[in-house]
Amino acid sequence: VETTNAPPAPARERHDELVEKIRAHREAYYQQDAPLVSDSEYDALFQELELLEARYPILAGQDSPTQEVGGEVSAAFAPVTHASRMYSLEDVFSLEELDAWLERAGANANRLHPQIPVRWLCEVKIDGLALNLTYRDGKLVRAATRGDGTTGEDVTHNALTIADIPQQLAGSGWPAEFEVRGEVFIATEDFNAYNEALIEQGKAPLANPRNAAAGSLRQKDPEQTAKRPLRMFVHGLGRSRDFPITEQSQAYELMRGWGLPVSPYGRVVESLAQVRDFIAEHGEKRHELIHDIDGIVVKVDDLSTQEQLGYTSRVPRWAVAYKYPPEEVHTKLLDIQVQV
Ligand code: NAD
C-alpha cells in the first residue's frame, strides 16, 4: 500500500462525496431515527471511505467520519458529558478478517500480560441504541444517549419508564458512583404485537425494531416512551473506579446480582475456534433470540488488558464487531405496506 502519495483529484472528489453522503445518512439515522438506506448500504460507503483513507492517509482528517463516533446531540435534550467517553466498534465483515483481528489483538494482549491467557468474551450485537446509566450510591441518577461519544442527550425521565432499568440497585457492594452502558431495544415479539395493534387502529406500523427503539427513547414526553415496550441489556462499563473486579464477565455477574439486566447470550471462550462456534451457532439461531442482532461482538475479557490496549478516537482496540452478511427479511408484517 502506497501511503505517501498525494491523492489524485478523482480520489479527493470521491472522498468529499462519501463524507457528504455518510453525514447525511448519519443525520437521518441518529437524529431522525429514520434511515434513508439499509445498514449494509451504509456500511459499504463507510468501508469505501476507510479504504480510500488507508490508501491516502492525508484524507483522514480529524473531521472525517472515520475518526468520530457517529451521532450528535439534539437541541431537544439537555446535553450530558459522559464521565468516560463512549465508543463505536470496529467492524469486520468476514471470518478471515475476524481471525486476523483476533490474532493481532491476542498477540498484543500476550505481550502486555504473558501470564494471563487471553480469554474472549463473545456477545451478540444487539441492534438497538446505546444508553449510559449513572448510579450513585446505588440509585439511578442519570441516563444519557451516546451522542458524539463525549456528550450525549439526557433521557433520564424516559429511562425511568423502562422496567428493565433498576432505579435502585439490589444487594450491596456497588461502587459509590459508576457508569454502566447497555443497549435499549424492542423485543421482536413485542414489536410485532405493537405493530399489529397500530394496524388494527388504522395507523401506520413502525418500520423496524431498532428505529422504533431509538425513536421511543428519544421522545420529548416520557409518557409516550412509557407506552413503548422498551427493554435493555447491559454490555459495558464506563467510569467504574473501586470496582473490585478483573474481568468484564465478572462485572456482569456482579451487575446481575444488583438487578441490572445482563444478556443471557454471552459466553467466555479461550480459542479462535470457539469464537467461530459462537458465531456459527448464533448465526443459525439468530431469529430465535428475543431481539434483532446485526452481528457478534468479541471482547478481550481481562480489564487491565483492555485498559492497556486502549482506544482510537472512534473505537476500542480490545473489541471487534463481526457483521453477518445482510439477509432478506421476511416477516408477516413486511408483506403489507410498511411506512419507513
Ligand atoms: P455499531 O452499531 O456498529 O457499534 C457500536 C455500538 O454497538 C455500540 O455503541 C453499542 O451501542 C452497540 N452494541 C450492541 N451490542 C453490543 C455489545 N454486546 N457490546 C458492545 N456494544 C454493543 O456502530 P455505530 O457507530 O453505532 O453505528 C454504526 C451502525 O449503525 C452500523 O451498523 C450502521 O450500519 C448503522 N448506521 C446505519 C445508517 C443508515 O443510514 N442505515 C446510518 C448510520 C449508522
Q: What is the SS3 string spanning 117-133?
A: CCCEEEEEEECCEEEEE
How many domains are contained in the chain? Answer: 2
**340 in any annotated domain:** no
Q: Report the separation in Å between the CA atom of 300 and the middle of ligand 1, taken as the mean of its atom positions.
A: 19
For residues 184 and 131, the answer to whether their CB atoms sit within 8 Å is yes
The closest alpha carbon to 81, from 15, 130, 139, 154, belongs to 154
121 SS3 class: strand
**Is 292 found in the same domain as 202?**
yes
**2 in any annotated domain:** no
Indicate the length of the chain as a whole number. 340
Q: Report the separation in Å between the CA atom of 88 and the middle of ligand 1, taken as the mean of its atom positions.
A: 7
**pTM, two decimal places:** 0.92
| Confidence at residue 70, expressed as pLDDT on a 0 to 100 scale | 81
**73 in any annotated domain:** no
The residue segments making up the domain with residue 28 are 9-67
Beta strand 230-237 with 90-92: parallel, antiparallel or unpaired?
Answer: unpaired
**Is 107 found in the same domain as 185?**
yes
Residue 125 falls in the annotated catalytic set: yes
CB atoms within 10 A of CB 60: 16
Cell of 331: 416477516
| Confidence at residue 329, expressed as pLDDT on a 0 to 100 scale | 52
| Confidence at residue 328, expressed as pLDDT on a 0 to 100 scale | 58
CATH of the domain at 60: 1.10.287.610
**Is 134 found in the same domain as 167?**
yes
| Confidence at residue 4, expressed as pLDDT on a 0 to 100 scale | 60
Pocket of ligand 1 from Cβ distances under 6 Å: 25-26, 28-29, 35-39, 42-43, 70, 88-89, 91, 123, 125-126, 130, 146, 183, 235-236, 294, 297, 321
Which parts of the chain sit beneath pLDDT 50?
A: 1-3, 330-340
